[in-house]
Structure 1
């Protein structure tokens, strides 16, 4: 397939329709058939919004995920919710997301649910769009787990989660997934203080079984829980080690950095394609087409058009649906005009 110059994409998540959020808080009022119908309808809505906005690459909008990590914890055996570790009140922040204590060896006998999401997307999506699946990498997935007496630390938890993620990736490839994004924001958040070579080794071993079989991307952001970052906002510590990660496309935030480090994208573009955040998901200012064109032109100084994709900084699950639709429309129009 010929590369699309200035390809338009999203990270993975799309805002929930309001009725889905209400229904998810009142599931006791619905039967299994009702729930399945709601899931299908929500994915149809997400697909419609993305196609109407003009995106080249679409997802299922992650409509079955109520939390980036914790939704996956429902598929993982060996963990127990630890409510004592969670702050209940005050301004929203990551410490309100909840933690889980590990009580036995981790396993996922029914998989992690991403295969089911992708098969649903494939069945419901129109022809002609590139379909993308997304899944947290093992280091990020370990982020809300406490070792208990089973594992020594986060590194050991990550090693235990790696085969679970790797198996899901292999199943996605078997299902024909065109693009798979392995989200590892914890790596970008902590690149300034942790062993970046160790991060590279973890990532490469996770994707080893699918290299060359599908298009592999990774999303490296600084957090977006309730529209708030948690990491140190700089991509500089990722260099040069992250250049050795085995993926085809890097997705990084840039609006949140006010494009201060856009020149560093040139280093990544020497080895891979680059998807750049040109839409600010943490702001309700609606970018105009001219705003986005200006941002894309900044990127084109360092990334060739055929290697550049444009996207929101992060997932859109924390941005209102009305705003997301307007922002994506501006982004896609800007990309089309610059092509």
Structure 2
């Protein structure tokens, strides 16, 4: 994939240098949307499908505009129509079935689906979400999609007998979905594969999945791969062979202990760098985030650096999430100004 980041630069961007700012995907839902969901699930409430659609549309509009007010260069609606990242897609893929939640850790449960027959593509998964957000937004919209390897790995396989085969079948479905999104106007797509860095011996499987996903896509589609947590040394430099424009990683939570994995001079795609920690309610000061951004400049030059939170921020209080994103954008603009003035070099070092 070869795409130009400059098309995401706002027309009134104040600096010569440009660090693309965005979010990974999820955002805290307004309290009233959670209450609306409870009403929808209560047959006696009188809260019908039209009421629910109005509530979701209001929340999507609110979050999209909140992202734009924060100054993000590429936005999304915070996944207001989604809940868990596997369940949402499994509910829309023929061949999946739900048999009840399984315990993940502590008191957290995940409604882990089973693949009970061959998977197939029945109807669009995200087109409505994308078209609504794109109509609301004045800035480019990014579409996050749970990747086929994670969809396969985090499911019970009762049909294929091979996680690899299931992943490839799902990759073909993701390709069909992405092609539909591209037809609707989407040009920035993020594949989320949190399972990758926990089972790194399968990096070749993920690579083949990505090859299937990009098949037939036009060159102007920007494809990112997001991987949160895990040992990144097990998938680099192999990830250089992936047909992606951007590799997005969670590093702020680990105080950049793994940044040297990528700072070997061999890293090829653009770097999507997590610069605020989504696991803490502490709102990082702008100066701290600036220092985090400079860690990314050790790996790639400014024109190849994307700035984002570590991961989705949906588990944070909404005010905390908003302030983290606002500070992140301010920090990115400050680093751009420092690069313009020569106060720091392109590798992040102070002159």
**Structure 2-normalised TM-score?**
0.86
Determine if contact 1:269/1:307 at 8 Å carries over to the other structure. Answer: no
Structure 2 gaps, min length 5: 10-17, 337-351
- Kindly indicate whether residue 76 of structure 2 is the aligned counterpart of residue 69 of structure 1: no
- Give SS of 1:276's match: strand
- Kindly indicate whether residue 221 of structure 2 is the aligned counterpart of residue 214 of structure 1: yes
Structure 1 gaps, min length 5: 223-232
- Give SS of 2:142's match: strand
Identify the residue that residue 295 of structure 2 maps to in structure 1: 298
Identify the residue that residue 241 of structure 1 maps to in structure 2: 238
- Kindly indicate whether residue 205 of structure 2 is the aligned counterpart of residue 198 of structure 1: yes
- Kindly indicate whether residue 137 of structure 2 is the aligned counterpart of residue 130 of structure 1: no
The number of residues matched between the two structures is 319
- Which residues in structure 2 correspond to 1:1-339 (within 5 Å)? 3=6, 4=9, 5-27=18-40, 28=42, 29=45, 30-83=47-100, 86-87=102-103, 91-93=106-108, 96-111=109-124, 113-126=125-138, 129-148=139-158, 150-191=159-200, 194-210=201-217, 212-222=219-229, 233-266=230-263, 270-339=267-336
Structure 2 distance, partners of 1:184, 1:316, is 17
Structure 1 stretch 272-281 or stretch 213-222: which is displaced more?
Answer: 213-222
The Cα shift of 1:303 comes to 1.7
Q: CA RMSD in A?
A: 1.9
Structure 1 distance, partners of 2:5, 2:127, is 27
Structure 2 distance, partners of 1:261, 1:292, is 17
Change (3 A) 1:201 1:211: farther
Structure 2 distance, partners of 1:79, 1:284, is 36
Structure 2 distance, partners of 1:101, 1:7, is 38
Change (3 A) 1:157 1:270: closer
**Structure 1-normalised TM-score?**
0.89
The Cα shift of 1:23 comes to 1.4
- Give SS of 1:239's match: coil
Structure 2 distance, partners of 1:331, 1:269, is 27
Change (3 A) 1:77 1:197: closer
CA deviations 1:189-242 (Å, max 9, x no partner) are 221xx23223212222222222514111111112xxxxxxxxxx3211111211
Change (3 A) 1:144 1:298: closer
Structure 2 distance, partners of 1:175, 1:289, is 37
Change (3 A) 1:331 1:55: same
The Cα shift of 1:26 comes to 2.2
